[in-house]
Structure 1
Amino acid sequence: MDFRQLTYFLAIVDHGGFNRAAAALYVSQPSLSQAIQGLERDVGSCLFHRMGRRVVLTEAGTALVPRAREALHALELARASVGAVRELRGGRLEIATMASPTIEPLSTMVQRFTERYPAVSLSVRVALTREDVVEMVRTGGCELGLLTTSSPLPSRDVIPHHVGDDRLVLVTPMDGPFPVGQAVQREQLAGHRLIVGQRGTGIRAYVDDLKALGIDVRIAVETEHRMAFLPLVLGGVGLAVVTASWADLSERAGALVLDLEPASLQHNILVSRKAQLTPAARAFLEVAVPPAHRSSL
């Protein structure tokens, strides 16, 4: 078993098949298949069920995933630690993030980091819910994760770093049902059609709480794609509750942004692994997390 085999194995897992993994790795599919066959001989078990062009992890393959990630992380840590003396001169950092904080605070974090460490490559991976973010960090898929939440995190396997709060606002067409400049009481949303995210997000939780309070809001569209909210709102499909970080973009697109009453806050949390971090991950935390909220790095 070698690190190349483990890299190929995880690429198939992450990209969902041999063809996509080979393209992402810039290797031929026969070379990829041969490496996996060698890995399967080494571990003495089949790692994938082949179903036409699709592959599904076997029980042995599922068991290998976290161990493979740990092994590659250890190698990356060793390589990065050797190469990092006074400043980072290369390397790669993967960050998992929910959709809401991708505009802010992630954009500012990335801007500050790349200004200070331009040689480090960042990879931002999408996670649909806060549980997805935590799982990607916990299992080693990413070293850091950014999520929004209004309640405690569901896992003790990661270290949380509070990086600010974001209130929820209402986005409507400019000729929508509410006057400019006046906050919208949550009871006023009764009878209106809303565009919502999937379950597990703070925005969806807010809408579900309205329904639990007996406020008759109607879900017009449920979508995982946050960038679809604005076109749908401007097209008259419905109204959308989003975090205030989207306010500027919404207004520039021609939508009306209104405060909601009572105010509802979402907490932006950057989570890191409990295992030792690479220099790039530690440097990102130092740039992104206010000193008062910074755990021991």
Structure 2
Amino acid sequence: MDVRQLEYFLAVVDHGSFNRAATALYLSQPSLSQAVRALERDLGSDLFHRIGRRVVLTDAGTALIEPARTAVRGLELARASVESVHGLRSGRVQIAAMPSQAVAPLTGMIGRFHRAHPGVSVTVRAAFTARDVTEMVRTGVTELGLLASPDPIRDPEVCAHPLPEQRFVLLAPSDGPFAHGTTVLDRKDLAGYRLIVGQQGTGMRRYVDDLVAEGVEVTLAVEVEHRVAILPLVLAGVGLAVVTDAWRELARQAGVLVLDLEPRTSLRVTLVGRHGTTTPAAEAFLRTVLTDAADNAVEPLS
């Protein structure tokens, strides 16, 4: 067994098929399949059930994921630590981020980090819920994660670094039901309207579910996992959308009306990392973010 084989195994796990994994690794599929077969022979157990072009993890494959990620991360850390002796000129930071927070504040974070360390690349992995983010960090899929949640993060397996909160706002078409000049709306005044919502487990969905629980009668017009569809749906007049104010500038540029909702409700934004040693690139990213937060007098959340 070697680390290269473990990297190939994890690529199949992450991409869901040998074909997509081979493409991501710039390998031929036969070469990838041969390497994984060799790993299975070495371990004396099948790691995947091969069903046509699909693969499903066996129990042995599932058991291998976390130690494989630990081994691969260990090698990456060793290489990065040696390279950093001569300054942080290269490397990679992998971050799991929820969609809205990938718009802001993540883009600003990456911009500041890139100016300080232009030779380091950043990979952003999609995660739809706060639990997805912490799981990706905990299991080593990424070193860092950016999430938003109504409640503080109390997962003992990750380190949490609170950032400024994001309040909820309403997106509406400019030719919709609200007069120009309107900037604030009471949430109870959403009664009778059609809403575009996210899937269960997201902050924007929880906001609408709480609204319904309060007795405010709204119609769930669309449930969508693809956040990129929200603005076009609002512009098309399909419904209104409750999102975080990370979307404010993009929405305004697209010609969508943005209204603050009262009473004010916010999501806690948190950057999470792994306990223990991390790569110099991840440490530098975290240091850049926290230094910027301190310079802007960000108070830690309780």
Q: How far did 1:146 drift? A: 0.2
Q: In the comparison of the two structures, how many residue pairs are matched?
A: 295
Matched, 1:189 2:193: no
Helix, strand or coil: the match of 1:146?
A: strand
Matched, 1:109 2:109: yes
Q: How far did 1:245 drift? A: 1.6
Name the structure 2 match of 1:22: 22
Structure 1: stretches of 5+ with no match in the other structure? none
Deviations 1:66-118 (A, max 9, x none): 00000000111111000002631111111000001112110110001111111
Helix, strand or coil: the match of 2:155?
A: coil
Identity of aligned residues (%): 58
Deviations 1:8-34 (A, max 9, x none): 000000111111111111111111111
Distance 1:196 1:154 in 2: 26
Distance 1:293 1:276 in 2: 25
Q: How far did 1:154 drift? A: 5.5
Amino acid at match of 2:60: A
Name the structure 1 match of 2:264: 263
Name the structure 2 match of 1:232: 233
Name the structure 2 match of 1:202: 203
Amino acid at match of 1:278: T
Amino acid at match of 2:111: Q
Name the structure 1 match of 2:170: 170
Helix, strand or coil: the match of 1:288?
A: helix
Helix, strand or coil: the match of 2:85?
A: coil
Matched, 1:58 2:58: yes
Structure 2: stretches of 5+ with no match in the other structure? none
Distance 1:294 1:270 in 2: 14
Q: How far did 1:181 drift? A: 2.4
Seen in structure 2, the aligned counterparts of structure 1 residues 73 and 4 have a Cα distance that, compared at 3 Å, is same
Distance 1:47 1:236 in 2: 48
Helix, strand or coil: the match of 1:122?
A: strand
1:48–1:57 contact (8 Å) kept in structure 2: yes
1:131–1:154 contact (8 Å) kept in structure 2: no
Q: How far did 1:255 drift? A: 0.8
Q: How far did 1:294 drift? A: 10
In angstroms, what is the RMSD of aligned CA positions? 1.5
2:17–2:55 contact (8 Å) kept in structure 1: yes
Q: How far did 1:178 drift? A: 2.0
List aligned pairs for 1:31-180, cutoff 5 A.
31-85=31-85, 87-153=87-153, 155-179=155-179, 180=181
1:178–1:184 contact (8 Å) kept in structure 2: no
TM-score by length of 2: 0.95
Deviations 1:199-218 (A, max 9, x none): 11111110010011111111
Distance 2:54 2:83 in 1: 39
Helix, strand or coil: the match of 1:85?
A: helix
